[in-house]
Amino acid sequence: MRGLWKLTRTEMKLFLREPMATFFTLVFPTMCLLLLGSMFGNKPVKQFGGLGFVDTMVPGYTAMIIATSGLLSLCTSIASYREKGILRRLRATPLQPQAILTAQVAVLFLMAVLGMALLIILGKLIYGLHIPRNPLPLLPAFLLCAMSVFAVGFVLASVLPTARTAEITAMALFFPMIFLSGAVIPQALPETVRRISQILPLTHGVTLLRGLWAGGTWCEHLKEVCVLSGVFVVGVIVSAKTFRWE
């Protein structure tokens, strides 16, 4: 346990030393919020069901942060740890192999939580972000969304042969995903695009988070819950079967 704790703390330091990762997880979403928030404000709009622009964007950006850490960061770091032989070196110690992956997931999850917290705090302070009367159902939704996207990241890290292909594939998935899922552009997408976007797990994550943010209940979002859980389960099974340490 001491080893896992130390490894997690070390990975945290390393994450913060990596300017790109820190920027895209913590700074970029905040910048988007401030920029677009200052343009559109947070006045209630009929199109958003009586919510404001910022109220809609915060759950969307949260999903984007989950995709950044779960897809881009997780996939790239595990694939490069494998390629560089870092996984191999750590496995030659008495540390449990699972601890190596647990530390990675823990750090990235924590960063996603931090990114979301920043959005909520700034949104509340500057734009009077509307926070649901009962925010508790949002927490398991955030967790489910993260688990599902992290599982996809793990599959990519397991299946793709090199760090370079893993990074490129993660990017190629990430960018269409954040736009098509409505994480960055809300509900203005044409019907065809919206139909295509249904195959992306993040779309369901965005729908779930946004729905609950607007005061919806889990019962209204059973489809999203099922899809996200399914992706998680399949992702875990596939990566457990295909994961390589070297």
Question: Is residue 13 at the binding interface for another protein, with CB under 8 A as the rule?
Answer: yes
Q: Find the helix or strand (DSSP H, E) in which 216 lies.
A: none
- Write the CB contacts of 99 (distance below 8 Å, at least 6 apart in sequence): 3, 4, 7
Long-range contacts of range 160-169, CB-CB < 8 Å, 24 or more positions apart? Answer: 160/75, 160/79, 162/79, 162/83, 163/76, 163/79, 163/80, 163/82, 163/83, 163/84, 166/75, 166/76, 166/78, 166/79, 166/80, 167/75, 167/76, 167/79, 167/80, 169/75
Question: Is residue 244 at the binding interface for another protein, with CB under 8 A as the rule?
Answer: no
Distance CA 246, CA 244 (A): 6
The mark string for 16-45 relative to another protein (x by CB under 8 A, - otherwise) is -xx---------------------------
CB nearer to another protein: pick between 9 and 223: 9
Q: Which of 38, 44, 47, 84 binds another protein (CB under 8 A)?
A: 84
Q: Which of 12, 86, 171, 234 binds another protein (CB under 8 A)?
A: 86
Return the residues of window 176-195 that contact another protein according to CB under 8 A. none
Other CB atoms closer than 10 Å to residue 52's CB: what's the count? Answer: 20
Q: Given the rule CB under 8 A, which of 13-21, 43-51, 140-148, 218-226 is the region that contacts another protein?
A: 13-21
- Write the CB contacts of 87 (distance below 8 Å, at least 6 apart in sequence): 78, 81, 100, 245, 246
Q: Which of 44, 58, 73, 88 binds another protein (CB under 8 A)?
A: 88
Name the minimum Å distance from CB 89 to another protein. Answer: 5
Question: Is residue 85 at the binding interface for another protein, with CB under 8 A as the rule?
Answer: yes
Question: Is residue 162 at the binding interface for another protein, with CB under 8 A as the rule?
Answer: no
Name the minimum Å distance from CB 96 to another protein. Answer: 8
Question: Is residue 94 at the binding interface for another protein, with CB under 8 A as the rule?
Answer: yes
Question: Is residue 233 at the binding interface for another protein, with CB under 8 A as the rule?
Answer: no
